[in-house]
Structure 1
Amino acid sequence: MLLNNYEMIYILKPDVTEDKNLTIVQEYKKLIKQYGGQDIFVQHRGRRHLSYNIAHYYDGIYVQMNFSGNGELINLLEKSMKFNENIIRYLTIKQNKQINFSATI
């Protein structure tokens, strides 16, 4: 199975509590693992001022996730984020390096 490396950053509404933030992170980590994603690394980038307002918000809580997965997983994650009322923006970047896990199985 050929997996690509991805970096996904999403911005939460500024009024999201720390507990809710951690719950959202755990939900996405579980979803990534459930659909064959690996090497999950999450960084909380903290609350930052936005360059321009998004949905009437001037601040947001940034969370960065790096993981390996396939395009189907990305579609699933982005669809989930699109309908998550706590997320005001998200961006997924495909990294250049690919990992071939079929040789290790």
Structure 2
Amino acid sequence: MNYIYETMYILRPDMGEELTEQAIAKYQKILRDNGAEPVDTQHRGKRRLAYEILNYREGIYIQMNYQAPGTVVALLERAMRLSDEVIRYLTIKQEVTEPKAEPAASTATATATPAPVAV
């Protein structure tokens, strides 16, 4: 079963723009090569961290949304864990739900006229 995942990761702040783009492309490639469907990436920019991580007070925030099997997430997180450029990451899983059709009776009650009010 496929799930929708959101992975947020923080890159070191001392990486230049070119290295940041290379890191983003590397993680997108891991997802696409292993069957992730639409990979939507948002570059959130450099922000101050809530607390110091590995002697860094700032980090470059990146968010990726994608749909994939669970094994792909394990590969992505392993690559991030072994990398020196990622200082934190978090993946959130949401189950894909099919939209439910509304019963025809509910539309009939929605168009009914309201009862008169006694004064």
Question: What's the counterpart of residue 95 of structure 1?
Answer: 94
Within 2, Cα distance between the matches of 1:90 and 1:5?
Answer: 17
Across the aligned residues of Structure 1 and Structure 2, the Cα RMSD in angstroms comes to 1.2
Letter in 1 for 2:6: E
Deviation at 1:31, TM superposition (A): 1.1
Q: Over residues 11-48 of structure 1, what are the superposed CA-to-partner deviations in whole Å (9 max), with x where a residue is unaligned?
A: 00110111111111111111111101011000000000
Q: Is structure 2 residue 51 aligned with structure 1 residue 52?
A: yes
User: One-letter code of the match for 2:16?
Assistant: T
Q: Which runs of 4+ in 1 moved over 3 A?
A: none
- The answer to whether structure 1 residue 70 and structure 2 residue 69 are counterparts is yes
The answer for the alignment partner of 1:20 in structure 2 is 19
In structure 2, the partner of 1:3 is 2
AA aligned to 1:24 is: A
Aligned-partner Cα distance in 2 for 1:95–1:57: 31
Query: Separation in 2 of the partners of 1:80 and 1:86?
Result: 11
Query: Structure 2 CA distance, aligned partners of 1:79 and 1:8?
Result: 13
> Where do 5+ consecutive residues of structure 1 fail to align?
100-105
**Aligned-partner Cα distance in 2 for 1:27–1:38:** 16
Deviation at 1:98, TM superposition (A): 5.0
Aligned residues: 98
Higher relative contact order (Cα pairs below 8 Å, separated by 6+ residues): 1
Which secondary structure does the structure 1 equivalent of 2:96 belong to? strand
TM-score norm. by structure 2 comes to 0.79
Identity of counterpart residues, as a percentage?
Answer: 40
Deviation, 1:95, is 1.9
After TM superposition, the score normalised by the length of structure 1 is: 0.89
Once the two structures are TM-superposed, the CA of residue 97 in structure 1 deviates from its matched residue by 2.3
